[in-house]
Structure 1
């Protein structure tokens, strides 16, 4: 989904940090965990995504979990381009361990490029990689609440004068706005598609 900067800007102008709601002509509204689940298909039940952003050696973490060390690690962040180039596509004869590493890299790209991108839209923090050690445990985490918390924090920060950019899942914000404001709704051929953002 292509993000529309003017729509995002108009929504941020109507965001009230004290109530975490948008003040729109149709009334007050907000994005809820249910919206995250329906729009993105992310789990909202489960354990909170917590942990430190500090690591003694991010290079060692990358080597252990991805099997490769990026050339540059800045403040615990790596470049999305390195992930794309290094983990383009697994070979047909890849081992199970290699496939797991490719899956981790792919999920990390989704997190850093779509669900919780930073301002550069080109870096992803390795703290998310630490959550992908065990896929079964990662599946029990409430990723939806983490995405929503990140978006709320960023929208509150964006109400500060002279803030030019915003992080977070802006496609969630935009998709939700299309359903609040009927004149923004796209025509859909398959209205019962899930998650809703894919319509």
Structure 2
């Protein structure tokens, strides 16, 4: 097997997932000063936790708050639901972490302008998380794996 075929590459990510790989890097702020305000401004809802300083949104909270839209939903409500759906896809499919059931708030500001979402190199971020998880899983005490396993399985198949 030639060396180029021994690992998942950015080209594989682009071909198999259709994600952009040559755009602006996906970089979020790790510490958000007012997470509740950020959530309310971009999702029109905020977790009812007593903690005022949270860093992620639970999948269960996203599901409860955005699972159903009314027939008379406004375009603004559709945008809130779309952001919540993309947040779920980011952490649930593209960049899952096997250790928790939350999506970090660092991605939410990237979704402020939904027409600008395609300007980020999501494929590079997905591949970086997959490599990180593959590396982490080589440790003897690792019991699970995260990362985009759909990409890994698809690459191995083809």
Superposition TM-score, scaled by structure 1 size: 0.72
Instruction: Please list the CA deviations of residues 137-177 of structure 1 after superposition, one character each: whole Å capped at 9, or x if unmatched.
Output: 22100000000011111111211221112221111111111
Q: Is the 8 A contact 1:114 1:169 kept in 2?
A: yes
Instruction: Please list the CA deviations of residues 102-137 of structure 1 after superposition, one character each: whole Å capped at 9, or x if unmatched.
Output: 100111111111001122452111111111001122
Gap change, CA 1:112 and 1:99, over 3 Å in 2: same
Matched, 1:63 2:63: no
Q: Cα offset for 1:71?
A: 2.6
Provide the residue aligned with 2:107 in structure 1: 128
Matched, 1:99 2:73: no
CA RMSD of aligned residues (A): 1.7
**Which protein has the bigger helix share?**
2
Q: Cα offset for 1:50?
A: 1.4
Counterparts of residues 39-188 of structure 1 (less than 5 Å): 39-72=16-49, 75-120=54-99, 122-179=101-158
Q: Is the 8 A contact 1:80 1:112 kept in 2?
A: no
Counterparts of residues 22-33 of structure 1 (less than 5 Å): 26=1, 28=3, 29-33=6-10
State the alpha-carbon separation in 1 of the partners of residues 14 and 112 from structure 2.
24
Q: Is the 8 A contact 1:108 1:128 kept in 2?
A: yes
Query: What count of residue pairs does the alignment treat as equivalent?
Result: 154
Instruction: Please list the CA deviations of residues 37-60 of structure 1 after superposition, one character each: whole Å capped at 9, or x if unmatched.
Output: 111111112101113210011111
Runs of 4+ residues over 3 Å off in structure 1: 72-75
Instruction: Please list the CA deviations of residues 49-76 of structure 1 after superposition, one character each: whole Å capped at 9, or x if unmatched.
Output: 1132100111111111000111347851
Superposition TM-score, scaled by structure 2 size: 0.90
Q: Cα offset for 1:101?
A: 0.2
Structure 1 unaligned spans of 5+: 1-25, 180-199
Q: Is the 8 A contact 1:36 1:144 kept in 2?
A: yes
Q: Is the 8 A contact 1:58 1:126 kept in 2?
A: yes
SS at match of 1:44: coil
